Amino acid sequence: MPSSSLKSISIDIEVMTHDRLRKVVFGLDKETADSGDVTWTIDFKLFEREKKTDEFGDPLVKLDAVVVKKPNFDKAEDTARTGKFTAAQTEHALGPASVDAKRFKDGKIPREKAAATAERTIAKRS
Amino acid sequence: MQNAASTPFSFRALRRALGWLVVGTLLPFVAAAAERCPDRVFGFFETQGYSTRKVLVSGFWLLKRSLMADKGALADLEGKPFKEEALKHAKANLRETILRSPSAFDSPVGITVVGVRLVNCTEGGNGKELDIEYLVFTTKVPLASIRTLEHAHQEMEHPAEALALSPSKTRFRATPRLAYDASQNFLVGGRLDARLPPAGIGLGLDGQGWSESLVAGGDISGAKESDQGWLRKLTWRGAFEYAHRPADMLQLDSGRVLGQLSVVTAPVGSLGVVFRFGTLFEGGHQQTGLAPSALPAGALAGSRFANWRSYGGISLRTGRQAFASSYGLLLGRTGSGQLIDYRKQIVDAAYNARLLLAPHRPFEVDTRFTAGFLAQVGPTPVSERFFGGNVETPFMPGPEWVIRANPVLRGIPAYWFQRTTANQVPGGDEFAVVNITLAIPVFGIPVIPLEASQDPEIREKVRGFVTDGASGLVPIYELDDPAQKNLFDTRRESFAKTTAAMEERIGALKPSVPVTLQPVYDACAEKIGDLAANAAGITRTTPWRNFLKDDPTEGYIPVTLQLCLVELNGPLKDTELTRLGDELKEHQKAIAEQVAKIDTNRAKRLAQETLAFPATVIHTVFDEMTVVSVSPIAIFDAGRIRPTAPGQRSASYSVGGGVRLTVASSVTFEVSYAWNLRPRPWEGRGALSLGIRFIDLFGQ
């Protein structure tokens, strides 16, 4: 198989709750430099709707371009490779990551704290 | 009466039309192969002074078309100096557009992969130029219906909707049809579908006809699908229909209204067999144009009727094979005073297989066995008898489950396969038929362009999505557990109250904290703040298991108790904080008790079940499915119909061939001719069949 010619690739993982009223989209964006060094960023979006027959529309909360720290690169790569969360990652995305994204939107915490919580979703991969 | 052999038909016109259809269909897919640019970062091309010639999107054709139609930020890049930031901005917009697009169905998980590469770098009269190519793949996971034979057909014909390979416009759809057979002549018509937003109720108008035949009707329908419980899909439908069809020496005319309900169960066993059941009530009037005096007692040329149809069956798919078997029972009455005047039974089994001879060249084998039995216990309408030929009559309406209810022999015009002697009552009272169709694609364009499907990075990500276990879905299925619900109903408010009070108390203690305890205090304040926020933010979809985790990076109960009760309040000895800490321990204990009751095995089973089957389907999408395919087809049918007079044969055979052209999610075209190997005088020597069906006229 030929090598990938992609210098930039993104993977958006959607997880929808069983009641179909809430959806988390966890996007991982990977850029590769000439040297082979990579950078990872996260786009976190939380969607909610009143009824499952409605469209989700705009995200209730979104956190864009959260830079992943180097210690989490392997876990980011692993998450992107499988295109799926582990159980701990799903629980974190639906729990603290969603709560802190909302707290940031409501002005209760700074962006840095919400971004750090979103990044910890990656770190929950064991 | 019309004679099949005398029907005017120009093969030259057909050949010309075919030629234009093939050329017109393939043109949009003809594209020059892209050359990769040097393997350098985007910034290199920016500093080298390249400009953007064109922006391309590669992906499933309909997805590509819908994204390019709303080019927006993509078009802005063209004809301008190449800028890395602009490229990334456009990619972000592309991802946003895909996420916002309405999906064909809700799915517990989904994945979208967008890759970018630079191609066709040139240096000439226009300076340095390049094209930007966005490679896009998106899909979701259909639920129980994916395991049916009908879904396997739909994936090949309409992958955009069946597998959510592109955003789906589900509100309104027009599907024109054109068909020809010797009995009914040309048929022009189609179907209009509208979906009402609140509950997803569908309204449909269907009709086709021309000089010899007319069928028209309308329906209202709805479906509810679940990924849990034994009942996975429920479909209901109400409909009315008028039909006027020629059948050799008579007309099959009817008007009816009906109500229908059918269900699909959860997959069972390692093969994932789904069971299907349904029932239908209908009433109306039928007539044949025959003189009652020409019929024996008990055969009605025209009458009212009321039918109760019940049906059940199984369906399964494994690898490249699909099987469905169904049984239908019809109990009918004509108002003679008897409870039941006639009883009809149908057995219908179909097996489809694809053998991959070469990439994107699946050799398709479709086989079907159908048998029917009519028992007349009272006056029975002639139209309830069996009329066969090269057109299928379904046992009940709807595309989600098809039970064939008449003998299909493609060498005999529609409804003309119905008797074995000239003077017999029209229609059979018993039949059995085997149909075999072989299709070998001679031309195919992959449904996902090779640039996208063969890129190792995209391929690896998508393969991982369906093959690397389903643990990420387990918490989703745990959310529906009664223990989880119990916690939400009984514990949420008091738990939020305790944590909020604790946060407040910690805040109040701040002035009295000695400097030596300040680091511990700060850590405690942060964690109780997070815990209180997490508790206040609990919804029905919050995993309660989180709160019990001994994770020092999160604001969960164990770390909060350690920092605030042990390390801070150990030295401080604040009575109120101790009391609140005890309350928090009570909550911890109660949450632990309920979380221990969560049926994790059930959640694991459901998660595995959700993702197990799509692995095969995604593999098919990448390596087998074609967006355009041209396949010669071979046809063989054998069947018999009864009653037979002494010395008369009941068997008939058809052999033939044709061509099938499919443009996925857009149009299907099939023309075939089958010879009737042992024709009876009224049947003709063979039958031509032609059908063009636009799957969605307005596209996506």
Q: Does the beta carbon of B465 lie under 8 angstroms from any beta carbon of chain A?
A: yes
Backbone angles phi, psi at B486, to 5 degrees: -60, -45
Tokens of B633: 């087809």
Burial of A68 (0-12, 13-18, 19+ CB in 10 A): buried
CB-based contact B125:B80 (threshold 8 Å): no
pLDDT score of B21? 56
**Chain B residue at shortest CA distance from A21:** B541
Tokens of A59: 């995200």
pLDDT digits (tens, 9 = 90+) for B17-49: 555 555 555 555 555 556 888 888 888 899 999
Q: Does the beta carbon of B41 lie under 8 angstroms from any beta carbon of chain A?
A: yes
Nearest to B276 by CA among B415, B159, B376, B395: B395
CB spacing of A90 vs B472 below 8 angstroms: yes
pLDDT digits (tens, 9 = 90+) for B269-321: 877 899 999 999 999 999 998 888 878 888 899 999 999 999 999 998 887 88
Written as one letter, the residue type at A126 is S
Nearest to A46 by CA among A112, A108, A92: A92
Q: Does the beta carbon of B112 lie under 8 angstroms from any beta carbon of chain A?
A: yes
pLDDT digits (tens, 9 = 90+) for B496-510: 999 999 999 999 999
Cis status of the peptide bond prior to B413, with omega within 30 of 0: no
Q: Does the beta carbon of B45 lie under 8 angstroms from any beta carbon of chain A?
A: no
Helix/strand/coil for A66: strand
Give dist(CA B122, CA B16) in Å, integer.
41
CA B371 from centre of chain: 28
- H helix intervals, B189-318: none
Under the banding of pLDDT at 50, 70 and 90, the label for residue B4 is very low
CB spacing of B42 vs A12 below 8 angstroms: no
Written as one letter, the residue type at B330 is L
CB-based contact B203:B229 (threshold 8 Å): no
Give dist(CA B631, CA B628) in Å, integer.
10
pLDDT score of B23? 55
Query: With contacts defined as CB-CB under 8 Å, which chain B residues touch A32?
Result: 41
To the nearest whole Å, the CA of B98 is away from the closest chain A CA by 10
Give the alpha-carbon dihedral of B523, B525, B528, B531, to 10 degrees.
-80
Q: Does the beta carbon of B198 lie under 8 angstroms from any beta carbon of chain A?
A: yes
Give dist(CA B532, CA B551) in Å, integer.
16
| Close Cβ partners of B590 (under 8 Å, ≥ 6 residues apart) | B487, B491
Write a three-state SS string for B500-522: HHHHHHHHHHHHHCCHHHHHHHH
Long-range Cβ pairs for the range B14-19 (8 Å, 24+):
B14/B671, B14/B690, B18/B659, B18/B671
**Chain B residue at shortest CA distance from A10:** B114
Tokens of B507: 């805040």
**Chain A residue at shortest CA distance from B611:** A84
pLDDT digits (tens, 9 = 90+) for B376-404: 999 999 999 999 999 999 999 988 899 99
A-B CB pairs within 8 A amount to 187
To the nearest whole Å, the CA of A112 is away from the closest chain B CA by 14
| Close Cβ partners of B101 (under 8 Å, ≥ 6 residues apart) | B66, B167
Give dist(CA B18, CA B180) in Å, integer.
14
Q: Does the beta carbon of A126 lie under 8 angstroms from any beta carbon of chain B?
A: no
To the nearest whole Å, the CA of B454 is away from the closest chain A CA by 7
pLDDT score of B77? 85
- pTM, entire model: 0.71
ipTM, two decimals: 0.85
Q: What letter does residue B683 receive in the DSSP assignment?
A: T
To the nearest whole Å, the CA of A100 is away from the closest chain B CA by 8
Please tell me the least confidently modeled range out of B169-173, B370-374, B621-625, B666-670.
B169-173
Helix/strand/coil for B590: helix
Q: What letter does residue B267 receive in the DSSP assignment?
A: -
Q: Does the beta carbon of B110 lie under 8 angstroms from any beta carbon of chain A?
A: yes
pLDDT score of A84? 74
Stretch B343-349: mean pLDDT: 97
**Candidate from B461, B473, B537 with C-beta closest to A11:** B461
Give dist(CA B682, CA B183) in Å, integer.
12
pLDDT digits (tens, 9 = 90+) for B138-193: 776 666 666 777 777 777 777 767 666 665 555 777 888 899 988 888 899 999 98
Q: What letter does residue B386 receive in the DSSP assignment?
A: B
Q: Does the beta carbon of A38 lie under 8 angstroms from any beta carbon of chain B?
A: no
Largest CA distance in chain B: 112
**Chain A residue at shortest CA distance from B84:** A8
Altogether, the residues listed in chain A come to a count of 126
Tell whether the torsion through CA atoms of B94, B699, B112 and A62 is positive or negative. Answer: positive
CB-based contact A24:A14 (threshold 8 Å): yes
To the nearest whole Å, the CA of B295 is away from the closest chain A CA by 54
Tell whether the torsion through CA atoms of B222, B227, B231 and B232 is positive or negative. Answer: positive
Q: Which helix (H) or strand (E) holds B645?
A: none
Helix/strand/coil for A108: coil
Altogether, the residues listed in chain B come to a count of 700
pLDDT digits (tens, 9 = 90+) for B495-546: 999 999 999 999 999 998 999 999 999 999 999 999 999 999 998 888 999 9
CB spacing of B116 vs A9 below 8 angstroms: yes
**Within a 10 A sphere around the Cβ of B33, how many other Cβ atoms?**
8
